[in-house]
Amino acid sequence: MSIPESLRGLTTDPAFWAAYLPPAGEPVPGHHAELRVSVPVAGGYGLVLEIDLAYGECLLGLRQPGSTEPLPLARLDPARPYPTVLRWAELDLIGQLLALDDPQWRHPGLLVALLHRYASADDQVAAPDRPATMLATALRGLSRSVDAESGEPAQVSAAGPDQPPLALFDDPRWWPTPAAVDPRIFDDDAVARQVGDHLAHTGGVRWRYAAGWGWVAAGPADGGGTPPRTLGAESFPFDDVAELVRRAAARHRRLLDAPWRRAPRIAPLLQRVRESGDPAAVPALGRALADAGCDHPTLLDALTAPVVPAEAAWVVDALSGIVPADDDGR
């Protein structure tokens, strides 16, 4: 599934992100964005995000096979900024599937940036820093729209005369060159604020597996009084979310069931990378996969220098047989 053009145009617009992810405690700027984003996951199941910034709300729903309208999961608006109805492992799993389907959906990237406020970061007991690292990587990767001819971020044209100036005015101070526009949507300070705000709002939410229900959350509600997914909230589609995750995990395993993954050199290199945690060891794994016949652009790009640690980490885990949200903690 490629990124829809309507979404691609919006997500390279700083004004969209300023309205969609406003800094905590600041007024939300107005924006006219209105669109529906369908994210197929597996076996007819998927997520649907309806964005309507003119009314200041976004709806997340779950699509079932053959259904015409999604089941409601959560509403995000200024009064409910963090409706934590997904576990981070579930968001990670869906992001990995999208990236394996289409390199345009690099992971962590656009999906994490769009949906992280629906996911609690507190379920990563084995790797508690992973959500923050993934979110920071996703936000840093968002870029402004670029000029079609130059390929550079859109900016004000350099000032200057149409013809050589008179000698009195040929000093460059008369024609200053405008400062270059940062190509990123969020600078480092803005990324840090967004990550810190997310961790602060989803802190204290604890997930547990309840027989007959699935994963349920216990802990404080978000700032607007909306409880997270809780035992006893019978309107929440527990069974459907569980089925989406089950099918997604099965599809994840199928997508990576390839001969090149079982080549003799791959397992030792995977073990070396996992044990050392050294990004410098990653490119050797990428070269070995290519030599073994792997031509998957998402995998090879993540394992080619310069290495982005958050991207390389999930690829190494996936190649090692680790599937997010698959029987974790039950």
Identity of residue 280 = A
Mean pLDDT of 240-247: 95
Report residue 280's pLDDT band, with 50, 70 and 90 as the boundaries: confident
Contact 3, 105 (CB under 8 A): yes
pLDDT in tens, 65-106: 988 899 999 998 877 888 889 999 999 999 999 999 999 999
Sequence length of the chain is 330
SS percent in the chain: helix, strand, coil, step 5: 40, 15, 45
Most confident range, picked from 119-128, 221-230, 273-282, 314-323: 314-323
pTM over 0.75: yes
The pLDDT of residue 158 is: 46
Pair of tokens at residue 229: 């997914």
Instruction: Give the span between the Cα atoms of 34 and 18, in whole angstroms.
Output: 15
98 phi/psi in degrees, rounded to 5: -60, -45
pLDDT at 126: 58
What pLDDT was estimated at residue 299? Answer: 96
